[in-house]
């Protein structure tokens, strides 16, 4: 087996390779002065099972183009099978037509990946379980919930001291699963509304009882607005310590500041998306999904 990495999240790819006991194979990404890229596979892959790691976080279009070229290069070099590990899967928000006339971007991406000869996809915490249906190839959908549960247990937080909180209705399934792993830890749900035109979020009510320690669980943090709002609501409803566990630190420009200044004490995220130094802040802690991904590659 050979494992390659695009440029979006090489630290994670290196950790996955280390867990597999192999070194990353070489490829070259050359950038022309006008921004176009040329990708060249430098290791031999003829008749090899190949894994490519590339997160398609921002700049999403560039990272996807790079992945497309890597897949094409591998196919033309005779790879026997190709598995793409896309720890953060960009363009998954638009998994159906919310309003008439909208493009269904996840289906467009699936079509392109399949047309390039991709055999299998491994992704982490897709926004919706329906996203798998956009593909005709096998999709392994991993979840960082087990990584979160491990940290929560290590901290000694349990069903008597903490409440899990979903910051929106879409996350109910997620906290129910985590609650089961954590000995039926109680949970509550904030009903959030998002304006489809502006992206602004507002909250209406909480279902469930909030204890003194609240653990917000989400799939991604982008602007930080959802978490900041949830923090305020939880504080007003009696929470004294608020923690966040979110899989993908997508972090748009103002997110680090918003999160640092929010009511939450600590923000745990994973390394599905590489967080550059300038976006790191004191309340942030990064957990790794590398072992989980390596195990999935080994077992497939
Ligand atoms: C929404 O449905 C997602 O689960 C996240 O809550 C959302 O994408 C977070 O976005 P933001 O940080 O921009 O509020």
The pair of structure tokens assigned to 286 is: 């990064």
How confident is the model at residue 209, as a pLDDT? 86
Indicate which residue's Cα is closest to atom 10 of ligand 1. 222
> Is the preceding peptide bond at 59 cis, omega within 30 degrees of 0?
yes
Three-state secondary-structure class, residue 72 = helix
Only one residue has tokens 């959908």, namely: 141
Ligand 1 center to 268 CA (angstroms): 15
Biggest CA-to-CA distance, the chain:
61
Mutate to test the pocket of ligand 1, among 126, 220, 232 (most ligand atoms within 8 A of CB): 220
Ligand 1 center to 212 CA (angstroms): 24
Pairing type for strands 213-221 and 241-249 reads parallel
Q: Which residues line ligand 1 (CB under 6 A)?
A: 167-168, 170-171, 201, 218-226
Query: Which residues, 6 or more positions from 253, have their beta carbon under 8 angstroms from its beta carbon?
Result: none
Ligand 1 center to 40 CA (angstroms): 36
Q: Which atom of ligand 1 is nearest to the CA of 219?
A: 4
What string of pLDDT tens digits covers the 300 residues of the chain?
999 999 999 999 999 999 999 999 999 999 999 999 999 999 999 999 999 999 999 999 999 999 999 999 999 999 999 999 999 999 998 888 899 999 999 999 999 999 999 999 999 999 888 899 999 999 999 999 999 999 999 999 999 999 999 999 889 999 999 999 999 999 999 987 777 777 676 666 788 888 899 999 999 999 999 999 999 999 988 999 999 999 999 999 899 999 999 999 999 999 999 999 999 999 999 999 999 999 999 998
Pairing type for strands 201-207 and 187-194 reads antiparallel
How confident is the model at residue 129, as a pLDDT? 85
Give 130's DSSP letter.
G
> DSSP letters along 217-249, please?
EEEEESSSHHHHHHHHHHHHTT-SEEEEEEEEE
How confident is the model at residue 253, as a pLDDT? 86
């Amino acid at each position: 087996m050979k494992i390659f990495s695009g440029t979006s999240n090489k630290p994670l790819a290196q950790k996955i390779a280390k867990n597999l006991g192999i070194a990353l194979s070489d490829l070259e990404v050359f950038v022309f002065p006008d921004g176009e890229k040329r990708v060249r596979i430098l290791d031999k892959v003829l008749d090899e099972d190949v894994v490519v790691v590339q997160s398609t976080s921002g700049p999403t279009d560039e990272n996807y183009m790079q992945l497309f070229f890597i897949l094409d290069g591998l196919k033309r070099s005779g790879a026997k099978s190709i598995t793409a590990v896309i720890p953060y899967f960009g363009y998954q928000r638009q998994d159906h037509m919310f309003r008439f006339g909208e493009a269904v971007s996840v289906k467009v991406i699936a079509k392109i990946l399949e047309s390039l000869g991709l055999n299998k996809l491994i992704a982490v915490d897709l926004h919706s379980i329906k996203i798998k249906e956009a593909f005709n190839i096998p999709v392994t959908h991993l979840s960082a919930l087990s990584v979160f549960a491990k940290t929560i247990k290590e901290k000694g937080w349990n069903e008597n001291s903490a409440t899990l909180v979903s910051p929106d209705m879409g996350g109910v399934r997620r906290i129910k699963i985590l609650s089961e792993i954590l000995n039926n830890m109680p949970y509550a749900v904030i009903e959030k509304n998002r304006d489809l035109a502006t992206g602004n979020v507002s909250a209406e009510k909480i279902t469930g009882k909030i204890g003194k320690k609240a653990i917000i669980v989400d799939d991604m943090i982008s602007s930080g607005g959802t978490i900041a709002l949830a923090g305020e609501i939880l504080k007003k409803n009696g929470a004294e310590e608020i923690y966040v566990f979110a899989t993908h630190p997508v972090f748009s420009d103002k997110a680090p500041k918003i999160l640092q200044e929010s009511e939450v004490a600590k923000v745990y995220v994973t390394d599905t998306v590489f967080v550059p130094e300038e976006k790191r802040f004191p309340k942030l802690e990064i957990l790794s999904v590398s072992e989980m991904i390596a195990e999935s590659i080994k077992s497939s």
